[in-house]
Amino acid sequence: MFLMIWRCAMSDIIRSDTDREFVRLERSGWVATITLSRPPVNALNRQMVSELSSALTELAADDDASVAIITSDLDHFSAGADLRERAETAKEEVADAVAAISAMVTQIANLPQPTIASIYGAAVGGGAEIALACDLRIMAENGKLGLKETSLGIIPGAGGTQRLARLIGPSRAKSLIYSAELMEAPLCLATGAVNMVVPNNMLRDSAIAWAEAFAKNAPLALRAAKQAINGGLGKSMEEGLQAERDAYAALIDTADRDEGIKAFLEKRDPQWRGE
């Protein structure tokens, strides 16, 4: 049923939309938000991928953003690649188009800030891969997530086979990818594909509250924690511990570390500077 809706929605996309902006990057305090907004379903055409890549580059360089949310202001998170555009792309150019999406998704995974995907409606194909590249995922009760590529004669090409398998285990990932089925919110939560499911009307506020709970802590420490965790994945315990020691050592001579200890001793809230 969703695939039918997806195809109908895709047919409604206006082709001459190069004058629009499909991605917004905003920051409030320590929390940055990237909002996807290409009606009707945030299909990832070349322009949107380029805009999202540019926003990610800007976010990565923003020392005043300590947590980032990726969300949508439409009825769905993202339906993935724009199949109308893909059908009109010469076959010799398809690999480059897929590589561009994959590189953009890798930018998300490599952001120094902790990231949260806020998923309303469906996150499908490349949209699911965007969500999987985030550190954490919060989903509305109407949410769905899946990789439908095998139903189109292809496979996930922006990290989906690797990130989903690492997140929920290879057996479950194989079942979902082979069947091209979408997981609804309860199954996403049960398998660990998402961290939290909330009522539809509470998604935005819940995502912001979650991000702000992180942002109360030292921004450099948040980045270092992410670096240490990611630096040890897939490595031996000793290599992981070395990644932790390296990340810790980089914090010793920071103003925020001094402020954190001073604030604790003075029984007050710390005033972080990100330095």
Last residue of a domain, one of 175, 196, 215: 215
Q: Which one, of 47, 183, 44, 11, lies nearest residue 126 by Cα?
A: 44
As a three-state string, the secondary structure of 133-184 is: HCCEEEEECCCEEECCHHHHCCCCCCCHHHHHHHHHCHHHHHHHHHHCCEEE
| pLDDT at res. 7 | 44
Q: Over pLDDT 70: what percentage of the chain?
A: 93
Task: Please say if the pLDDT value at position 5 is more than 50.
Answer: no
- CA distances 159 to 77, 153, 222, Å, are 18, 17, 24
Would you say 147 and 122 are in contact if contact means Cβ atoms under 8 Å apart?
Answer: no
* pLDDT at residue 15 is higher than 80: no
Q: How far is CA 167 from CA 3, 30, 143, 148, in A?
A: 24, 27, 18, 18
The closest alpha carbon to 31, from 59, 71, 68, 72, belongs to 68
Q: How far is the C-alpha of 250 from the C-alpha of 230, rounded, in Å?
A: 16
Is a pLDDT exceeding 50 seen at residue 4? no
Closest residue by Cα to residue 179 from 157, 154, 147, 153: 147
The yes-or-no answer on residue 93 being catalytic is no
Q: Within this chain, do residues 162 and 251 fall inside the same structural domain, yes or no? A: no
CA–CA dist 273, 64 (Å, integer) = 8
pLDDT band (50, 70, 90) for residue 1: very low
**What is the count of structural domains for the chain?**
2
Verify that 44 and 22 share a domain, yes or no. Answer: yes
Looking at the fold, whether 208 and 247 belong to one and the same domain comes out as no
Q: What is the pLDDT of residues 186-214, one digit of tens each?
A: 999 999 999 999 999 999 999 999 999 99
DSSP strand E in the chain: where? 23-28, 31-36, 43-44, 67-72, 80-81, 115-119, 122-124, 136-140, 144-146, 182-184, 196-198
Q: Is 126 noted as a catalytic residue in this protein?
A: yes
Q: Assess whether pLDDT exceeds 70 at residue 18.
A: no
Q: Are residues 134 and 239 in the same domain?
A: no
The residue written with tokens 């322009």 in the block is 47
What is the pLDDT confidence band of residue 2, given thresholds at 50, 70 and 90?
very low
Distance CA 24, CA 189 (A): 28
Q: Per the residue annotation, which of 126, 157, 159, 160 is the catalytic one?
A: 126
CATH code of the domain covering residue 251:
1.10.12.10
The residues facing 31 across adjacent strands are: 28, 67
Q: What is the pLDDT of residues 219-253, one digit of tens each?
A: 999 999 999 999 999 999 999 999 999 999 999 99
Residues 237 and 173 in one domain: no
- The answer to whether residue 273 sits within a structural domain is no
On whether residue 274 sits in a domain, the answer given is no
Residue 238 annotated as catalytic: no
The answer to the question of residue 91 being in a domain is: yes
Question: Active-site residue 149, yes or no?
Answer: yes
Using the 3D structure, point to which of 215, 230, 252 is the last residue of a domain: 215
> Does residue 151 contact residue 124 with C-beta atoms inside 8 Å?
no
Domain limit, last residue, from 181, 199, 215: 215
| Cα–Cα dist 183/86, whole Å | 25
Write the pLDDT tens digit of every residue in 31-74.
999 999 999 999 999 999 999 999 999 999 999 999 999 999 99
Mean of all residue pLDDT scores within the chain: 92
| pLDDT tens-place string over residues 79-116 | 999 989 888 888 888 899 999 999 999 999 999 999 99
Where does the pLDDT of residue 19 fall: very low under 50, low under 70, confident under 90, or very high at 90 and above?
A: low
- Residue 75 lies inside a defined structural domain of this protein: yes
The active-site residue, picked from 129, 133, 143, 232, is 129
What pTM, to 2 d.p., does this model score? 0.91
Say which of 43, 123, 149, 158 is annotated catalytic: 149
